[in-house]
C-alpha cells in the first residue's frame, strides 16, 4: 500500500532511525552518528524502502515500522545458519560482522530509550518551581514465547537476553494454544498502551508452533512547539492530486526544517527532544507518489535527517491510522528471503530439537498526528513452527466404504484361504 497521494509520511515515530538529527535555522547540524548505530540504522532504512515499494499499489493509507520488523527479524537471524542465514543477511541488509549487527541494534535501542530519560529529567521541577509539559514516552520491548518441551540452544537464548533483553517465557502451544495466544496478545496490548490489542490471530495454527519472537514499540511525543488548536480548520486535500475533499488541517508559522529537492519538498518537525522529528516528503505538483517511491533510497532518508531550518507556514492534515494486519511472508519472499519460510530452513543455531522454520511474520502499527504531537505503536511477531516434513503427522482417516449395491460374499478359512461359504447379495430386503 502507498500513503494517500499528497504527503508521504515515512519517518514515522516508530521508525526513528530515519530522523536522527536536528536542525537550526539556515544550517544543517545533524550530528555524526556513532559508528555502532550505523549498521542498525542503515539496515532499518534499507528494509523500509524495499518494503514500501513492495506493498500493493492501490494508493491506500498505510503505516508500518521497519525498526520493529528489523528488531524481530534480527532476533530470528541470530538462530539461523547456512543458506537461511545468508538470505536473511542480504534481505535485511546486515554486514558480514554478525556481532556488530547485534551490538548495533542494542546501541540503537539504548539511544532511543535515552530520549525518554532525558525528557523526564528536563521536566523535573526545579526548587520552588512546578514542572511543565508532558515528557516523551518511548519504550521498546522484546520477548520470546517458547514451547516448554522444546529444546533451545543456550548461546541463542543468552545472545537474545544480552543484546535484545528478550527473556524466554515457557508456554504450552501444543496443549493450550488458545490461552497462550491470549497471553501474548495481552502483553502486546500492555506494551502498546492498548493501541494494538492483538497480534496473533485466532486462526493461527497452534500445535506446530515452537517459538514466537515479539517486538513492541510505543511512542508518545509532544511537538517542540504545539500547533494551536484554534488554528485548525477544514482545508482542501486533493485525492490523487485531483479530487478535492476538505479535511481538518493544522497550521503553524515557525522555524522548521525545510528544503526543496528534485521532485519533492521535505519538511521536518521537531518533537520536544531534538533527537526525534517528524518527516514529511511532499511530491511536487504534477508528480505522484509512485515516482517518489521509485527514487527513494536509504541514503536520501539519511541525508534528510539534517534538513536545514527556516521559517515557514505549514498546513498539515490531522490524521489517525488504525492498526491493520500485515503478513510479511510474501513480501520478504519477494525480496529474496525464501529459505527461512521453507522446509529447507536452517535454524540450527536456535535449536537442538526438531527443525523449525518461520511460518509467518505478523506486523501492525498505529499512528495519530494532532496539534499536541504524535502517538505511535508497532508490534512484530515472527512465528516459528515445525517443518512439516519432519513432523510426525497423525495417521490419515480410514477410507469410507459404502456397501450400497449388489455384492458377493464368502466365509473363508484364513490359514488356507478356502471359502467355506460363498454367495451373492443383490437385494438385502
pLDDT digits (tens, 9 = 90+) for 254-267: 888 888 888 888 88
Which pLDDT band holds residue 211 (cuts at 50, 70, 90)? very high
Is residue 60 within 8 A of residue 370, CB to CB? The reply is no
- Is the pLDDT at 106 greater than 70? The verdict is yes
Position with higher pLDDT, 127 vs 239: 239
User: Averaged over 182-204, what is the pLDDT?
Assistant: 94
Residue 388: its pLDDT value, please? 65
β-bridge mates for residue 142, sequence order: 215
**Residue 410's pLDDT is what?**
31
| Average pLDDT score over residue span 151-159 | 96
Q: Which of 40-44, 214-218, 420-424 has the lowest mean pLDDT?
A: 420-424
The residue-averaged pLDDT of 189-214 equals 91
pLDDT at position 253 is 86
Residues 382-408 as b or e (16 or more Cβ within 10 Å = b): bbbbbbeeeeeeeeeeeeeeeeeeeee
Mind listing the pLDDT tens digit for each residue in 26-62? 333 334 445 488 898 889 888 988 888 787 655 577 7
| Phi then psi dihedrals of residue 239, to 5 deg | -70, 125
Q: The whole model's pTM is what?
A: 0.82
Distance from C-alpha of 132 to C-alpha of 252, rounded to nearest angstrom: 22
Half-sphere exposure of 337 (CA within 13 A, CB side): 28
pLDDT band at 396 (very low <50, low <70, confident <90, very high): low
Question: To which residue does cell 508518545 refer?
Answer: 220
Q: What is the pLDDT of residue 387?
A: 85
| pLDDT exceeds 80 at position 368 | yes
Q: How many residues does the chain have?
A: 429
Q: What is the DSSP string of 68-106?
A: HHHHHHHHHHTT--HHHHHHHHHHHT--S-HHHHHHHHH
Rg of the Cα atoms in the chain? 28
Query: Does residue 409 or residue 160 have the better pLDDT?
Result: 160
Closest C-alpha among 285, 286, 266 to residue 277 = 266
Q: Identify the residue with better confidence: 41 or 184.
A: 184
Q: Supply 180's cell numbers.
A: 497462550
Q: Evaluate if residue 425 carries a pLDDT over 50.
A: no
**Which residues lie closer than 8 Å to 146 by C-beta, 6 or more apart?**
152, 168, 169, 170, 171, 210, 211
Residue with cell 495466544: 181
Q: Is the pLDDT of residue 398 over 70?
A: no
In percent, the amount of the chain with pLDDT more than 90 equals 38
- Sorted by where each starts, the structural domains of the chain and their CATH numbers stand as 16-389 (3.30.497.10)
Q: Which residues pair with 358 in a beta bridge?
A: 384
* pLDDT-above-70 percentage for the chain: 78
pLDDT band for 343, please (50, 70, 90 cuts). very high
Q: Given a cut of 60, is residue 419 above it in pLDDT? A: no
C-alpha–C-alpha distance, residues 340 and 86, integer Å:
10
- From 137-141, 276-280, 334-338, the region with the lowest mean pLDDT: 276-280
pLDDT at residue 244, as a whole number: 78
Position 21 scores a pLDDT of: 36
Over range 299-327, report the average pLDDT. 84
Q: Cell for 170?
A: 515457557
Average pLDDT over residues 100-109: 93
Average pLDDT over residues 334-353: 94
Q: What is the pLDDT of residue 389?
A: 55
Bridge partners of 423, per DSSP, are 409
Find the range with the poorest average confidence among 8-17, 340-349, 367-376.
8-17
Q: Which helix (H) or strand (E) holds 422?
A: strand 419-425
Of residues 301 and 335, which shows the higher confidence score?
Answer: 335
C-alpha 233: how far from its chain's center? 33
Instruction: Kindly tell me the number of DSSP H helices and DSSP E strands found in the chain.
Output: 9, 16
Helix (H) or strand (E) holding 146: strand 137-147
Amino acid at each position: 500500500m502507498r500513503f494517500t497521494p499528497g504527503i508521504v509520511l515515512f519517518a514515522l515515530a516508530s521508525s526513528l532511525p530515519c530522523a536522527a538529527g536536528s536542525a537550526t535555522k539556515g544550517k544543517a547540524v545533524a550530528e555524526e552518528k556513532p559508528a555502532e548505530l550505523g549498521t542498525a540504522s542503515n539496515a532499518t532504512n534499507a528494509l523500509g524502502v524495499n518494503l514500501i515499494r513492495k506493498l500493493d499499489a492501490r494508493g491506500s493509507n498505510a503505516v508500518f515500522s521497519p525498526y520493529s520488523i528489523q528488531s524481530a527479524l534480527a532476533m530470528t537471524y541470530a538462530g539461523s545458519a547456512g543458506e537461511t542465514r545468508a538470505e536473511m543477511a542480504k534481505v535485511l541488509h546486515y554486514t558480514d560482522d554478525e556481532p556488530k549487527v547485534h551490538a548495533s541494534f542494542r546501541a540503537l535501542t539504548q539511544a532511543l530509550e535515552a530520549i525518554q530519560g532525558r525528557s523526564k529529567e528536563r521536566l523535573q521541577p526545579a526548587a520552588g518551581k512546578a514542572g511543565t509539559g508532558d515528557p516523551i514516552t518511548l519504550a521498546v520491548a522484546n520477548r520470546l514465547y517458547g514451547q516448554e518441551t522444546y529444546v533451545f540452544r543456550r548461546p541463542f537464548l543468552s545472545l537474545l537476553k544480552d543484546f535484545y533483553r528478550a527473556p524466554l517465557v515457557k508456554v504450552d502451544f501444543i496443549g493450550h494454544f488458545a490461552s497462550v495466544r491470549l497471553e501474548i496478545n495481552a502483553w502486546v496490548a500492555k506494551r502498546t498502551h492498548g493501541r494494538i490489542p492483538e497480534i496473533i490471530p485466532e486462526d493461527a495454527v497452534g500445535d506446530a508452533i515452537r517459538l514466537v519472537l515479539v517486538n513492541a514499540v510505543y511512542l508518545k511525543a509532544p511537538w517542540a512547539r504545539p500547533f494551536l488548536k484554534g488554528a485548525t480548520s477544514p482545508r482542501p486535500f486533493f485525492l490523487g492530486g485531483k479530487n478535492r475533499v476538505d479535511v481538518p488541517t493544522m497550521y503553524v508559522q515557525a522555524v522548521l526544517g525545510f528544503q526543496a529537492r528534485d521532485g519533492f519538498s521535505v519538511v521536518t518537525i521537531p518533537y520536544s527532544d531534538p533527537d526525534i522529528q517528524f518527516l514529511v516528503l511532499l511530491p511536487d505538483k504534477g508528480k505522484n507518489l509512485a515516482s517518489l517511491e521509485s527514487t527513494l533510497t536509504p541514503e536520501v532518508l539519511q541525508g534528510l535527517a539534517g534538513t536545514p531550518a527556516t521559517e515557514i507556514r505549514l498546513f498539515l492534515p490531522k490524521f489517525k491510522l488504525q492498526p491493520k494486519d500485515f503478513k510479511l511472508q510474501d513480501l520478504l519472499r519477494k525480496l529474496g528471503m525464501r529459505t527461512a519460510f521453507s522446509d529447507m530452513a536452517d535454524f540450527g543455531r536456535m535449536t537442538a530439537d526438531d527443525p523449525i522454520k518461520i511460518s509467518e511474520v505478523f506486523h501492525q502499527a498505529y499512528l495519530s498526528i494532532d496539534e499536541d504531537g504524535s502517538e505511535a505503536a508497532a508490534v512484530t511477531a515472527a512465528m516459528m513452527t515445525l517443518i512439516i516434513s519432519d513432523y510426525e503427522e497423525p495417521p490419515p482417516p480410514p477410507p469410507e466404504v459404502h456397501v450400497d449395491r449388489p455384492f458377493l460374499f464368502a466365509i473363508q478359512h484364513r490359514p488356507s484361504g478356502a471359502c467355506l461359504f460363498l454367495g451373492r447379495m443383490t437385494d438385502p430386503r
